[in-house]
Chain A
């Protein structure tokens, strides 16, 4: 090795891996200090999507908050509506009819599916394997059509509402839903043979970005990243909301905690979501799909505070809401799942890693930048 080579290998460089980088998904940034190809230090720099939703929610009436909350997570919007609605219901003492609980469960699982399928596209794309992405995005689009049918919106639905849901199921929806679920279930075999069981992917993901159980607990990581380390924890089981108490489903776990384990957990969750939606359709009770809410312009909610939580596609999503008795919320704070694993866990995992794995790690951890910024 000559002198110049040695100098290049020992020189420390600061690289900015930001939203303009082709390997970056979404608006997020990481400042990397590298020596050769190896990362010495990584500092996450979020904030590109800071829209101040929590502040804006303090300035509008309760129902006017819905167009904001669904935008907290672009890929997985419905859980944010669900926690907001749950918080309002608990503060105001509003009842939700059983049919609405089932319809909410369906919307939440559809949202989880669209999020996981979009993740599969992005992950495949990131690893230079576009085929799987073309397939999964087609399936995702069918679910988006269903959202369009039931809520009137493709990306943001504002479907879940205090006291129930905004609309009941339209005619022909159930048949179309069953057909779409069958279609997705059929394609899972193709996803397995081309991607999840692909030798190239296995080699690329096994043993990379190992998050140990201790680290996951230390950083407060939840969701699929935690379940991939072998801890079976899911808010749907721990504190059932919507209709989850009546439904039968499994919580998939893996033990390795590496990128491959995380991918397999998400793959198995797709299967569970399909099963949950089928059960919802089978057991759907009759009756009203919503209870009337008071006049939104005069609706004052008694003083109080509450914390509600649920399991979104990425982990524990919660909202701490405080009412001071006026027609506007005094404070609402969102507990978002991407926060712990998007900052501290990511920075820890990237240390000592190759530059080529940065994008891989962002997707493997399933980080949603809009969630962190809010």
Chain B
């Protein structure tokens, strides 16, 4: 099975990586934060040429943000999720723009919604929000109700 071959390849090359084949056409790769860039570059050469999207999950209890890079291979029809955890208190991470140009917009959104700064992305300007003064709204500790009451005060 192609999924198993990829799993073995990655585990051999990257120390500390944990690859699981979730089901057919799905691979989850968890890696320490310093090997994401080289892993994604390696996977790109192995056929994962489509960066589907990037997303962020707030694990507030652990004090960490989890960045999930979704890569797809057109040849094998496999969708891989590369995950890494970064510090929630000082969320800075390396941009993926040198590898995938479309990472720019996804990083721009994560910067706005979670406050993660991507070093190397030159376009972290406001994206969906206008004149936003509060904390990044997708963080788990952002209180939607309190914000709405403050913003749209009612008697």
Contacts and interface: CB of A to CB of B under 8 A. Distances in A.
Interface of A: 46-47, 50, 52, 54-56, 59, 217-220, 231, 233, 238-239, 305-307, 309, 316, 318, 320, 322, 330-331, 333, 335, 339-340, 343-344, 373
Given A220-B50, A333-B55, 18 more contacts: A54-B138, A217-B49, A218-B100, A218-B102, A219-B101, A238-B77, A239-B79, A305-B81, A306-B22, A307-B26, A307-B70, A316-B52, A322-B57, A331-B58, A333-B53, A333-B68, A339-B105, A344-B102
A287 B4 CA distance: 37
A320 B77 contact: no
A59 B148 CA distance: 14
Best-surrounded residue of B56, B57, B58 (most CB of chain A within 10 A): B57
Contact of A50 (B25, B68, B100, B129): B129
B128 A373 contact: yes
A220 B57 contact: no
Contact of B52 (A217, A233, A239, A318): A318
B58 A309 contact: no
Q: Which of A54, A219, A322, A331 has the most CB of B within 10 A?
A: A331
Cβ-closest 4 pairs across A and B = A333-B55, A47-B128, A220-B102, A335-B53
30 contacts: A47-B127, A47-B129, A54-B138, A55-B138, A55-B142, A217-B50, A219-B101, A219-B102, A231-B74, A239-B77, A239-B79, A305-B28, A305-B81, A306-B22, A307-B26, A307-B70, A309-B52, A309-B79, A318-B70, A320-B53, A320-B68, A320-B70, A331-B55, A333-B56, A335-B53, A335-B70, A340-B102, A343-B105, A344-B101, A344-B105
Contact of B105 (A217, A306, A340): A340
B57 A330 contact: yes
Contact of B144 (A50, A59, A330): A59
B123 to A, nearest CB: 10
User: Which among A316, A333, A373 has the greatest number of chain B C-beta atoms within 10 A?
Assistant: A333
B137 A220 contact: no
Interface string B72-103: 00100101010000000000000000001110
Contact of A220 (B79, B100, B144): B100
Contacts of B19: none
B104 interface: yes
**Interface size class of chain B, counting residues whose CB lies under 8 Å from the partner chain:** 20 to 34
Contacts of A330: 57
B81 to A, nearest CB: 6
Contacts of B22: 306
Nearest to B126: A47
Contacts of B58: 331
A239 B25 contact: yes
A374 B51 CA distance: 20
Nearest to A49: B128
Interface in B106-155: 127-130, 137-138, 142, 144
B147 to A, nearest CB: 10
Contact of A339 (B53, B77, B138, B144): B53
B128 A50 contact: yes
B24 to A, nearest CB: 8
Contacts of B53: 220, 318, 320, 333, 335, 339
A107 B127 CA distance: 33
Contacts of A54: 138
B104 A344 contact: yes
Nearest to A221: B102
Per DSSP, are chain A's interface residues mostly helix, strand or loop, or mixed?
mixed
B55 A46 contact: no
Contacts of B79: 239, 307, 309
A52 B148 CA distance: 12
Contacts of B52: 220, 309, 316, 318, 335
Contacts of B128: 46-47, 50, 373
A170 to B, nearest CB: 36
Contacts of A56: 144
Contacts of B137: 52, 55
Nearest to B68: A320
Contacts of A219: 101-102
Contacts of A343: 105
Contacts of B142: 55
A305 B68 CA distance: 11
B111 to A, nearest CB: 14
Contacts of B50: 217, 220
A204 B22 CA distance: 48
Nearest to A233: B74
B102 A46 contact: no
A251 to B, nearest CB: 13
Contacts of B101: 218-219, 344
